[in-house]
Amino acid sequence: MRTRKIGSLEVSVVGLGCNNFGGRLDADKSADVVYAALDNGITFFDTADIYGGTKSEEFLGEALGKRRDDVVLATKFGMQVDKERRGAKPDYVHRALEDSLRRLQTDRVDLYILHAPDPDTPIADTLEALDACVTAGKVREIGCSNFSAAQMREAAAAVRDGAARFVCVQNEYSLVQREPEREVLAECRRLAMAFVPYFPLASGLLTGKYKRGEAPPAGTRLSGMPAERIAALDEKLVVVERLTANARQSGHTILELAVCWLLSHDEVASVIAGATSRAQVESNAAAGEWILGEAERREVDALATPVA
């Protein structure tokens, strides 16, 4: 599989999002998904301390085992684990990291990401604590998530000379949610930061499994959603229908189009897609092989949800 850079890290252009581990998937099924990812050339694994009530990190660490050194391991901190474990104050940065290292069964995190801005903590204080983690050899690179362009600029300005800085931002981005095109992607170019999109398949809307006017298939992420919320998705599903037809003309699926369109943006380093089965992993990995041409991308841009 092709690779791109996040700071000094070389990552596969399709990564594995591990948010299903510990929730929709037990330890054995999580391990099956991890093995499938490794078999298909995926080397970038993304989790967080809150996923699966901390079980995601445990299941991922156990499954990787002796293959730990073969992958780039990313985890996140800062969202509320419980009443005591949350935020980005310096003391908690260190505590959260130690907890994640233990659960992941490793001595370092390759990419440690602040999951969301903490309005109660100056970003300079958080960065200083993260730099100490890098200096101690427990973290290789640091990143942020759910940051606006203004917050990215604030963080960049707060970095001391020679200290660790955010090398990536992880925000929601897909063919039906294009908000990062307003400011964040441009800020990534200015600050030389990589962009890592989450929800690249829009919680399954861009897989073709949901149809306008039909109930979601049993067992899917949207199957338990109230009827009024399902109906509210019709506007997005109209877009999905247009994109599905476009993909078919090229002999591809809507899922493949969703992934390769994201990768057509130079700022995007890796598309982290979740999976609950080996088949889904294989589909996600294969999607990274299609390289979208400039003319094709302009055509897709016109069919996708307009930039907010």
For 84-94, what is each residue's pLDDT tens digit? 899 999 999 99
141-193: pLDDT as tens digits: 999 999 999 999 999 999 999 999 999 999 999 999 999 999 999 999 999 99
Is pLDDT of 269 > 90?
yes
Dist. CA 46–CA 104, nearest whole Å: 12
Of the candidates 195, 213, 193, the residue with the CA atom closest to the CA atom of residue 268:
195
pLDDT average, residue stretch 202-222: 78
- At 220 the pLDDT is 66
Is pLDDT of 71 > 70?
yes
Is pLDDT of 54 > 70?
yes
Is pLDDT of 197 > 90?
yes
220-266: pLDDT as tens digits: 666 666 666 666 678 889 999 999 999 999 999 999 999 999 999 99
Mutual angle of helices 234-249 and 254-263, in 10-degree steps: 90
pLDDT average, residue stretch 54-76: 98
Dist. CA 308–CA 305, nearest whole Å: 8
Q: How many CB atoms lie under 10 A from the CB of residue 223?
A: 12
Read off the pTM.
0.94
Compute the CA torsion angle 263, 265, 268, 274 (nearest 10 deg): -40
- At 203 the pLDDT is 87
- At 231 the pLDDT is 62
If you average pLDDT over every residue of the chain, what do you get?
Answer: 94
pLDDT average, residue stretch 21-42: 98
pLDDT average, residue stretch 195-219: 85
- At 209 the pLDDT is 83
Among residues 35, 51, 173, 198, the one annotated as catalytic is 51
For the question of residue 51 being annotated catalytic, the response is: yes
Is pLDDT of 281 > 90?
yes
pLDDT over 70 percentage in the chain: 94
Protein fold of 3-203+262-292: TIM Barrel (3.20.20)
113-137: pLDDT as tens digits: 999 999 999 999 999 999 999 999 9
- At 234 the pLDDT is 80
Residue spans per domain, the chain? 3-203+262-292
pLDDT average, residue stretch 274-284: 96
pLDDT average, residue stretch 52-68: 97
- At 221 the pLDDT is 65
Is pLDDT of 39 > 90?
yes
